[in-house]
């Protein structure tokens, strides 16, 4: 579980995004406000009044009708709504806004009336919402319309040239304001959009890093917990939850109270502690995180049983490497001893005086073969990672394997009960030499302990259609494995036989795991099962 904090910077960025996206809505509100204001002015206007602003009723009514229709189009036309949703408006709509405002200024009596100032917000929003594109076009279009208004006012009021000159001066200043507003809006839009793009990319990277951190934490073998200075849990992963089921965010955990007390004593130093939990004992390594304020405490925890298992695995790995090196060193002198023993045996057969010593030479030969078999099994352990898997037709493979087995064990004729319950086209992806060695071990053990009667050994294949798993089972009618030894049969060098090496089943299980298969013993059914993924080809 991960605690998520809200930061002021993130809120500010989100607020900026919302404001940028809201600008088209703001433009719509401005349109409606202007249209309503003009409508009210139209309804209240008295034709006999005098003042600086006087609208002709018919042109004003026409303007109001056209602008209302334009507003309805921008609000409800699907294409325009889609453009609005993306935060932009088509060029024609922005130009229409500017045209209608300048036209209203003209109807009011020219730029001297002050209505022209309303064109500036529309130029600003048009430049901003389009990301600065066409900003000068908007300002130029407004400038042309404003001067056309002034020129038309000149032709309509030739008797008052002072007012016309004033009109042109106001139009010139208003045009400069249009260009200034357009450029400033474009500049602000480009920078804000660039900043938002950078922020968006950074957010994606942060999200990716956050997801990566979560994956790393959740796949960590250790339980991880982070506490604040009051002992409340700020973060934990699933492994820690398995150790401490009552672990929750913003909660104080009683089992960790001793850890918190020790932290108060050793504020800036790492330390190790032990605590009890439902499954046993936890070994905890505590690391103070003092770079931030307030400081935090990172706890890395593992159960004592898991630590012992890891130590045992490391010990077995070291032992495996050692025995592999010893096996390599023993092989050459062992071959020399075997060859010398055979020469002694040949010479003693021809010497009648050496007959009493033949039994001793045979003992030497027997033990040399036993040591050689052990060396071969040790080397097989180290060959389990050198796998050359391929598709194997299981029916054909088993037929060839059983034929070889009966050739090497002639007495096994009639003792094998073979049952195949998988389709003829069943294939597995396996190293054939590894599969040969696994089945050799299982069959030799079965032959060794069975009573050699008819159907004393049962070999069965079965396909699980729900998950496409092939099960190859080997059982015999022997006494079976004593219950007290079932848990140890796959341990290296464990054997109950005087002539066994204790490596056969250990090697077979390693080879199965190297091929992504499972070798297990089912004590209730007294049989071994090799489970491997299969497919029908």
- The answer to whether the peptide bond before residue 502 is cis (omega within 30 degrees of 0) is no
528-531 contact pairs (CB < 8 A, 24+)? 528/442, 528/473, 528/474, 528/475, 529/471, 529/472, 529/473, 530/438, 530/439, 530/442, 530/471, 530/472, 530/473, 531/469, 531/470, 531/471
Q: Is the pLDDT of residue 311 over 70?
A: yes
Count the Cβ atoms, other than its own, within 10 Å of residue 174.
Answer: 23
| Confidence band of 472 (pLDDT split at 50, 70, 90) | very high
Mean predicted lDDT score pLDDT of the chain: 78
Residue keyed to tokens 């130093």: 269
Q: What is the DSSP string of 424-465?
A: TTEEEEE-HHHHHHHHHHHHHHHHHHS---TT-EEEEEEEET
Parallel, antiparallel, or unpaired: how do β-strands 271-277 and 416-421 relate? unpaired
SS3 string of 514-527?
Answer: HCCCEEEEECCCCE
Residues 331-366: tens digit of each pLDDT: 778 777 777 777 777 777 666 666 667 777 777 777
Predicted structure pTM score = 0.44
Nearest to 183 by CA among 236, 124, 241: 124
Percent of the chain with pLDDT over 70: 80
Parallel, antiparallel, or unpaired: how do β-strands 527-536 and 518-522 relate? antiparallel
Residues 259-275: tens digit of each pLDDT: 888 887 777 788 888 88
Q: What is the pLDDT of residue 518?
A: 92
What is the DSSP code (8-state) at residue 471? E
Q: What is the pLDDT of residue 439?
A: 92
Which residues are CB-contacts of 88 (< 8 A; sequence separation ≥ 6)? 24, 129, 130, 131
Which residues are CB-contacts of 528 (< 8 A; sequence separation ≥ 6)? 442, 473, 474, 475, 519, 520, 521, 522
Residue 124 region, left (φ>0) first, then alpha (ψ -120 to 50), else beta?
A: alpha
CB 280 within 8 A of CB 303: yes
Nearest to 362 by CA among 337, 343, 345, 339: 345
Q: What is the DSSP string of 46-73?
A: -TT--SS----HHHHHHHHHHHHHHHHH
CB 459 within 8 A of CB 418: yes
Higher pLDDT, 423 or 44: 423
The torsion defined by the Cα of 164, 167, 173 and 174, in degrees rounded to 10, comes to -150
In 265-351, beta strands by DSSP E: 271-277, 280-289, 296-303
**Terminal CA-to-CA distance of the chain, rounded, Å?**
45
Residues 419-469: tens digit of each pLDDT: 888 888 899 999 888 898 899 889 988 998 898 888 899 999 999 877 789
Question: At 425, phi and psi to the nearest 5?
Answer: -95, 25
How far is the C-alpha of 307 from the C-alpha of 314, rounded, in Å? 11
Cα angle value 255/258/263 (rounded, 5°): 130
Provide the angle, in degrees to the nearest 10, between the axes of the packed helices 91-108 and 135-156: 20
């Amino acid at each position: 579980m991960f605690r998520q904090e809200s930061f002021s910077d993130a809120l500010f960025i989100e607020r900026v995004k919302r404001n940028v996206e809201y600008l088209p809505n703001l433009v719509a509100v401005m349109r409606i406000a202007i249209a309503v204001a003009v409508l009210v002015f139209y309804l209240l206007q008295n034709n006999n009044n005098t003042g600086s602003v006087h609208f002709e009723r018919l042109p004003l009514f026409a303007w109001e009708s056209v602008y209302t229709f334009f507003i309805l189009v921008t609000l409800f036309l699907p294409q325009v709504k889609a453009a609005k949703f993306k935060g932009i408006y088509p060029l024609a709509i922005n130009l229409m806004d500017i045209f209608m405002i300048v036209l209203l200024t003209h109807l009011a009596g020219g730029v001297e009336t002050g209505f022209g100032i309303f064109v500036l917000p529309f130029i600003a929003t048009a430049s901003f919402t389009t990301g600065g594109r066409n900003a000068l076009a908007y300002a130029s279009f407004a400038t042309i319309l404003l001067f056309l208004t002034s020129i038309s006012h000149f032709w309509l009021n030739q008797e008052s040239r002072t007012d016309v000159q004033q009109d042109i001066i106001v139009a010139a200043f208003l045009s400069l304001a249009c260009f200034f507003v357009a450029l400033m809006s474009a500049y602000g839009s480009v920078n804000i959009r660039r900043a938002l793009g950078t922020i968006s990319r950074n957010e994606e990277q942060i999200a990716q890093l956050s997801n990566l951190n979560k994956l790393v934490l959740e796949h960590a073998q250790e339980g991880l917990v982070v506490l604040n200075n009051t002992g409340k849990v700020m973060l934990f992963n699933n492994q820690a939850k398995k150790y401490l089921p009552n672990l929750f965010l913003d909660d104080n955990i009683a089992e960790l109270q001793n850890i918190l007390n020790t932290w108060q004593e050793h504020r800036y130093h790492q330390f190790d502690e032990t605590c009890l939990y439902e499954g046993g004992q936890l070994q905890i390594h505590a690391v103070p995180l003092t770079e931030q304020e307030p400081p935090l405490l990172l706890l890395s925890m593992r159960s004592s049983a898991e630590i012992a298992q890891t130590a045992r695995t490391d010990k077995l790995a070291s032992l495996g490497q050692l025995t592999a090196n010893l096996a390599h060193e023993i092989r050459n002198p062992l071959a020399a001893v075997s060859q010398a023993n055979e020469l002694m045996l040949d010479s003693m057969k021809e010497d009648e005086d050496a007959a009493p010593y033949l039994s001793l030479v045979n003992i030497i030969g027997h033990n040399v073969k036993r040591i050689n078999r052990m060396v071969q099994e040790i080397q097989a352990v180290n060959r389990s990672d050198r796998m050359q898997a391929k598709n194997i037709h299981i029916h054909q493979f088993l037929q060839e394997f059983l034929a070889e087995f009966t050739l090497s064990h002639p007495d096994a004729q009639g003792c094998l009960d073979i049952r195949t319950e998988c389709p003829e086209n069943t294939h597995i992806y396996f190293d054939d030499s590894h599969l040969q060695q696994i089945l050799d071990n299982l069959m030799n053990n079965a032959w060794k302990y069975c009573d050699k009667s008819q159907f004393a050994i049962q070999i069965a294949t079965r396909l699980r259609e729900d998950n496409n798993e092939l099960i190859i089972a080997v059982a015999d009618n022997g006494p079976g494995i004593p219950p007290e030894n079932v848990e140890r049969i796959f341990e290296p060098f464990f054997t109950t036989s005087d002539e066994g090496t204790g490596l056969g089943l250990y090697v077979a299980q390693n080879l199965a795991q190297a091929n992504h298969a499972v070798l297990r013993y089912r004590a209730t059914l007294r049989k071994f099962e090799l489970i491997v993924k299969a497919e029908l080809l």
